[in-house]
Amino acid sequence: MDKFKIEQMTLASLDEVMTIEALAYGQHHWSRDSFVAEINNQISNYSCATNKENRIVGYLGLWKIIDEAHITNLAVHPDFRRKGVAKLLLFDALEQCYKEKIKYLTLEVRVSNEGAINLYESFGFKSLGVRKKYYQNNNEDALIMWSENIFSENYKKRFNKIKEDIEGLILK
**Residues designated catalytic:** 108, 120
Per the rule left: phi > 0, alpha: psi between -120 and 50, beta: everything else, 66 is left
Query: Who contacts 2 (Cβ-Cβ below 8 Å, separation ≥6)?
Result: 51, 52, 80, 83, 84, 169
Residue 71, beta-bridge partner list: 62, 107
**Alpha-helix runs per DSSP H in the chain:** 14-25, 32-39, 85-99, 114-122, 153-166
Backbone φ and ψ for 49, nearest 5 degrees, come out as: -100, 130
The Cα 42–Cα 52 span in angstroms is: 30
CA–CA separation, 137 vs 54, rounded Å? Answer: 33
The span from the CA of 148 to the CA of 60, in Å, is: 20
The 3-state DSSP class for residue 110 equals strand
